[in-house]
Amino acid sequence: MKTQELTDTTKAMMAGDKGLLAMDESIPTCNKRFAEAGIPQTEEYRRAYRDLIVNTPNLETAISAAILSDETIRQQTLAGVPFADALKNKGIVPGIKVDQGTVALAGFPGEKVTEGLDGLRQRMSEYYTLGARFAKWRAVIIINEHIPSGGCLEANMHALARYAAICQEAGIVPVVEPEVLMDGTHTLERCRKVTQEGLLMLFTELHNQRVDLHGIILKPNMILPAKDCPVQEDDEIIAHTTIKCLLRCVPASVPGVAFLSGGQSPQQATARLNTMHKLYPSLPWALTFSYARAVQQPAMDLWAGKPENIAAAQQALYHRASLNSTARRGKYTEEMEKS
Ligand SMILES: O=P(O)(O)OC[C@H]1O[C@](O)(COP(=O)(O)O)[C@@H](O)[C@@H]1O
């Protein structure tokens, strides 16, 4: 185990008031986002878009680390620099999404499991040579009146623990992402129960797989009512419910918790992180963001695949990232949205 290297990396990832930029959309997910924005879904456009992100001026003042996809870590920027080196040159820790997506879980109708463990040890050593110092694996938990089942939670949390152990053996920090989806009509309370059950199972599996908790980052969902739940809750309720759940489930040895945005609006994701810091100024772990859509979406929409829009898109990306960094200090206000 490369404990010191893992600890050094988690410190860099959680430094200051910064957060992670998730820019690791798989090809299907990125193409879906591009199609919605009217952008051609080609490798060259995905490369141009990631070039726009990585070359955003001052991005490093708000972003400590960035998650790349397998496609991106093997590409070079338009200036011919490997993406991981371009990030490192800006003081941003490069990371890599290593899961290979979700498939139907056999015997569990409507439920999914994430794949990618076979051959992962070999892939991790290649990613290390390509410059990755942390990795990410996303488990997807779906809620409806009948699911999730215990069997689905067990399969996903066990896979997350196996992935984390393989990462640490390679000297790479695992970002562990159990995502309870916001899709559906379920209540905040139902989301809390499922999230809590999943987190407790996850930390048991991490313990059983001898994962060093000092060398991981947890990337959970916030506790929220589903998008179509008739009862929406205010930010204080969401903040209290989320933090109390995390305090119950996440050991103090974990260096950091970095939320995914999960389809919340950029403003909601920022305001809710801010409320958590205002209500809980002292927590056992760093509490920050690891957003994809909530940081990227305004920039992607502004860019729309046109070179003449790059500067405006980069300004929007930097603006969103810096608002989330301000939220990590509990100093964000809605007025800042207009600046
Ligand atoms: O393409 P995938 O592997 O489904 O992942 C989709 C996205 O989900 C995330 O885990 C969270 O993204 P959001 O913040 O947009 O919810 C990102 O890291 C990733 O880009």
The CATH number of the domain covering residues in 3-331: 3.20.20.70
Q: How far is the CA of 96 from the centre of ligand 1 (A)?
A: 12
Which residue is closest in CA terms to ligand 1's atom 6?
Answer: 25
Assess contact for 221 and 143: CB atoms under 8 A. no
124 lines ligand 1 (CB under 6 A): no
Atom of ligand 1 nearest to the CA of 293: 15
Integer angstrom CA distances of residue 85 from 10, 25, 81, 82, 132: 19, 19, 7, 5, 10
Ligand 1 proximity of 102 Cβ (cutoff 6 Å): no
In this structure, what DSSP letter does residue 82 have? Answer: B
Closest CA to 135 of 219, 208, 204, 195: 219
- Our answer on whether the CB atom of 267 is closer than 6 Å to any ligand 1 atom is no
Strand partners, 159: none
Q: How far is CA 151 from the centre of its chain?
A: 24
Q: Is 80 exposed, middle or buried (0-12, 13-18, 19+ CB in 10 A)?
A: exposed
Secondary structure element (H or E) that encloses residue 179, with its range: strand 173-180
Please give the structure tokens belonging to residue 78: 């338009």
Question: Does 43 qualify as catalytic in the annotation?
Answer: no
The ipTM is: 0.93
Distance from Cα 25 to the centre of ligand 1, integer Å: 6
Q: What is the DSSP letter of 292?
A: S
> What distance in Å separates the CA atoms of residue 286 and residue 2, rounded to the nearest whole number?
22
**Phi-psi region at 295: left, alpha or beta (left = phi > 0; alpha = psi -120 to 50):** alpha
Would you tell me how many other CB atoms lie within 10 Å of the CB of residue 280?
17
Distance from the CA of 27 to the center of ligand 1, in angstroms?
Answer: 11
Contact criterion met (CB below 8 Å) for 111 and 142: yes
Catalytic residue among 177, 197, 306, 308: 177
Question: The tokens 């407790």 sit on which residue?
Answer: 200
Q: Which atom of ligand 1 is nearest to the CA of 22?
A: 18
* Long-range Cβ pairs for the range 150-153 (8 Å, 24+): 151/105, 151/107, 151/108, 152/105, 152/108, 152/111, 152/112, 152/113, 153/197, 153/198, 153/201
- The residue whose two tokens read 């129960």 is 193
Q: In a structure prediction context, what are the per-residue pLDDT tens digits for the chain, which is 339 residues long?
A: 678 999 999 999 999 999 999 999 999 999 999 999 999 999 999 999 999 999 999 999 999 999 999 999 999 999 999 999 999 999 999 999 999 999 999 999 999 999 999 999 999 999 999 999 999 999 999 999 999 999 999 999 999 999 999 999 999 999 999 999 999 999 999 999 999 999 999 999 999 999 999 999 999 999 999 999 999 999 999 999 999 999 999 999 999 999 999 999 999 999 999 999 999 999 999 999 999 999 999 999 999 999 999 999 999 999 999 999 999 999 999 999 987
- At 106, list the tokens: 């056999």
Question: Is position 331 annotated as part of the catalytic site?
Answer: no
Atom 5 of ligand 1, residue of closest alpha carbon: 25
Q: Which atom of ligand 1 is nearest to the CA of 177?
A: 10
Cα 258 to averaged position of ligand 1 atoms, centre (Å)? 13
Q: Which atom of ligand 1 is nearest to the CA of 260?
A: 14
Kindly report the protein residue whose alpha carbon is nearest to atom 11 of ligand 1: 260
Q: State how far the Cα of 101 lies from the Cα of 335, in Å rounded to an integer.
A: 39
φ/ψ of 223, rounded to 5, equals -85, 115
Tell which residue, 259, 280, 290, 291, has the closest CA to residue 330: 280
Q: Does residue 138's CB lie within 6 angstroms of at least one atom of ligand 1? A: yes
Ligand 1 probe mutation, 138, 261, 295, 324, most atoms within 8 A of CB: 138
CA of 102 to the centre of ligand 1 (A): 12
Task: Kindly give the number of the ligand 1 atom that is closest to the alpha carbon of 219.
Answer: 10
